[in-house]
Chain A
Amino acid sequence: MRDARLRIEAAGPLTSIQDAGRPGWRRFGVPPSGPVDRRAFAAAVSAAGGHGTAVEFSLGGLTLVAEGEPLAAAITGAASADVNGVEIGGWCVVTLQPGARCRIRAAGDNWGYLAVAGRIDVPEWLGSRSTHLIAGLGGGRIEAGTTLVVREPRSDLASVAIPQPPDPGPITVARAIPGPQQRFFSADAQVSLTTATFAASSRFDRMGMVLDGPLLPPLRIDMPSEPAVRGALQIDGDGRMSLLTADHQTTGGYPRIAVVIDPDIDRVAQLPAGATIRLEMIDEAEAIAQTRAAHRQTTQWLSRVKAGCRPRPPLMMANLVDGVVVTRPRGPKYPPQR
C-alpha cells in the first residue's frame, strides 16, 4: 500500500509529535510527556480512526501540504483551519487530497492537535512516540522542512464536525488539593491562594505556564529537591506561581503550594494569556470523586466522538472543492462560547 506524506511548510516552535504519554520513567528524570490537552488530543485520534499519535501545535499554528495518497485528518483544540483557502473551522474531520495545502491557525486557546487516519511513521522511545520537547527524544519536534510519512493512509472518513468536550469554554475556577510543600508558606500566602484572582500568561511551554497574580514568596528556600507532579502550582524564590504540565521536571527544589486536580490541569494550560482564574481548595476524597466523575464524562463524550465519525458515502466523493471534501458549509466557530 502506498503512503501519504505531510510536508510541513511552517510550524511554531512548540510543535511536536505526541501520543498518550510515557508513564513509568519519572524515577529516571523522564516526565510522562504526552499532549498538554489530553482531551482534545483524544478527540482527534478517536475521530481519525484510533492511531494513537498526533501532531501537537501551539500559537504559531501549522501549515502543511498533503502528498502521496489522499488522507483523512482530524483537527481539534485551539485551531481554525483552511484547505486551499476554503475555511473549514476547527473540531472537524477533513480529507486532504494530494497537493492540498492545509493552514491551521491557533484560535482562542494555546494548544491544538492534528491526527490522521493512518500511522505516522516516527521513532518511539521507551515505548512511546511522545516527544520530550527540550530533549527532542521520542517522535520528535516538527519544524518547517519536516516531512511526516503516514503508513496505511485512509481517506474514506466523512468530513464531519467533532463534538466538543462536555464543558467547552474557558475554565474559571480550578480545583486543587493543598500541598505537598504547604509548610513553606505563610498563612497569608495560603489565604491569598484562594482569594486572589490569577491570570494565564503568554509565558508557557510544554513544561508549564507562569500564572500572574500576587507574589506568594516562600518562607524559606532551603527545600531539598522533592518529586514534582503535573498540575503542581510551583512557587519560585520571588513568589511567582507556575502550573507544571506535560514535560515538567520530575524533581526540583521549588516548593509546591497546591496541586490542581487532574481534570482541571489541561483546561488551565489552555487558557489564553490574560484569562483569569480562581483556585478552590478541595480535600483528597472530593478530588478523587471529581476525578472519577470527569473520567466518566470524558469516556461518554469520546464514545460520541467515535460514533459521529463514519465512513464517507461514495457519492460524497464528487463533492470536491480544490482538493478538499466539504460536506458541510463551514465548521463551527471555535471557541463557541466567547
Chain B
Amino acid sequence: MNGPVFRAAGSDALLADFGGEISEAVFARVVALDHALAADRPAWLVETVPAYTSLLIVFDPLTSDHAEVTNHLRALDTSTADLLPTTTHVIPVCYEGDAAPDITQVAATLGISPEAVIAAHLAGDYRVFMYGFAPGYAYLGGVPGKLQLPRKAAAVRGHPVGSVMVAGPQCLITTLEMPTGWWVIGRTPVRVLDVASERPFLFEPGDKVRFTRIGLADLHA
C-alpha cells in the first residue's frame, strides 16, 4: 500500500489522507499512524484528530513547520497497520416506549417489524471511527445494511441525552440535547460524555461497541 498523502491544513496543521474509501482497512492505517505518533510525542505536537480516512496533525508553527512534520510522519513505523484496538464496550439500550420515538416509522419505512429493527441493530458490529459535530458525539460505523436509511428531511429537537440514533451506515449516542435529523430508535443510560469525570469520554477512536437490550425499568433504574 502507498503511504498517505500529506496536505497542509492551514498554517499549523497537516492532514494525512489515506484515500477516499471508508473501510476498516483504511481506518486501521489512520489509527496506526495516530498511535505511532503518540508513542514518542515530538515537542511540536499539539494534538491529532482521527477520522474515517484521514488523520489531522496539529503542530506548533513557532517551533516546527509542514516539511519537518511531514518528514517525521514518513519515518514513523506503522507496520501494525492491520491491528485495530480490541477494546469492546457493551452498551445497554432500551428500544421501548418514549425511549424509541422513531422506531415505528423506521420499521414502516424499511418494510419490516419493529422487532426486526431491534434485531438488526443488536446484530451490528460497531466501530468508533471518529468524534465530531459536538463534544462526545462519537460516530459508530457498522450499521447492518438492512437498517440503513437516509436521515430525516428536517432536524427535530428535544431528544434527551443518551438517545441512540441511526442514519445511513452510522450510529450515534447523543451527549447533549441537540436538534438532529437522525432516527432515534432507543436510549441508553450509559453516558459517552461524563462532564464531571477526569476521563470524560467513554470511547477512544478505534474502539468496538456492542449493544444489548434492556427494558424501560432498567433504563430508568
The residues of A with any CB-CB pair to B shorter than 8 Å are 23-30, 125-126, 132, 134-135, 137, 177-180, 182, 223-227, 229-232, 249-252, 256, 259-262, 284-285, 287-288, 290-292, 295
Which bracket fits the contact residues of B?
Answer: 35 or more
A177 touching B134, Cβ below 8 Å: no
Find out whether the CB atom of A29 lies under 8 angstroms from the CB atom of B50: no
CA distance A213 to B112 in the complex (A): 47
CB neighbours of A259 from chain B (8 A):
8-11, 13
Residues of B within 8 A of A226 (CB): 15, 17, 51-54, 56
Interface 9-mer from B61-69, B82-90, B118-126, B151-159: B61-69
15 additional contacts (CB under 8 A) given A27-B131, A180-B15, A230-B10: A23-B46, A29-B135, A30-B135, A134-B176, A177-B8, A225-B52, A225-B130, A227-B51, A251-B139, A259-B11, A262-B11, A284-B11, A284-B67, A288-B11, A288-B65
Q: Chain B residues near A178 (CB, 8 Å)?
A: 8
Chain B 165-177 per-residue mask, 1 if CB under 8 angstroms from chain A, else 0: 0000000000010
B58 contacts the other chain (CB 8 A): yes
Q: In the bound complex, what is the Cα–Cα distance between A250 and B136 (angstroms)? A: 11
Is the CB–CB distance between B9 and A229 below 8 Å?
A: yes
Cβ-defined partner of B133 (8 Å) among A23, A137, A249: A249
Give CA–CA (A236, B210) in the complex, Å.
34
CA separation between A288 and B66, bound complex, in Å?
8
Q: Which residue of B lies closest to A288 (CB)?
A: B65
Q: How far is the CA of A231 from the CA of B132 in the complex (A)?
A: 17
B195 within 8 A of A: yes
Which of these, B48, B132, B195, contacts A251 with CB under 8 Å? Answer: B132
Return A228 CB to nearest CB of chain B, in Å: 8
Cβ contacts under 8 Å, B36 to chain A: none
A125 neighbours in B (Cβ, 8 Å): 195
Residue among B22, B55, B132 with most chain A CB within 10 A = B132
CB proximity of A220 to chain B, nearest CB, Å: 10
A232 vs B133: C-alpha distance in the bound complex, in angstroms?
A: 16
Q: Are A224 and B61 within 8 A (Cβ)?
A: no
A-B contact pairs, 14 of them (CB 8 A): A26-B58, A29-B134, A125-B195, A134-B178, A135-B135, A179-B15, A224-B52, A224-B53, A249-B132, A256-B9, A284-B67, A288-B65, A288-B66, A291-B12
Partner of A27, one of B10, B48, B61, B137: B48
Complex alpha-carbon distance, A183 and B125, angstroms: 32
B201 within 8 A of partner (CB): yes
User: Is B11 a contact partner of A250 (Cβ separation < 8 A)?
Assistant: no
Which among B7, B49, B54, B62 has the highest number of chain A CB atoms within 10 Å?
A: B49
Are the CB atoms of B58 and A262 closer together than 8 Å? no
For A231, the chain B residues whose CB sits under 8 A away are: 10-11
A230–B10 Cα distance when bound, in Å, is: 8
Question: Is the CB–CB distance between B131 and A29 below 8 Å?
Answer: yes
Contact (Cβ within 8 A) B139 A229 = no
Q: A26-B58, A250-B49, A284-B67 in contact; A179/B176 too (CB < 8 A)?
A: no
Contact A135–B61 (Cβ < 8 Å): no
Judge if B205 is at the interface, Cβ distance under 8 Å: yes
5 nearest A-B pairs in the assembled complex, by CB-CB distance: A251-B132, A259-B10, A227-B56, A29-B131, A227-B49
Q: Are A28 and B53 in contact (CB under 8 A)?
A: no
B13's nearest neighbour on chain A, judged by CB, is A229
The closest CB in chain B to the CB of A284 belongs to B66
| B17, closest chain A residue (CB) | A180
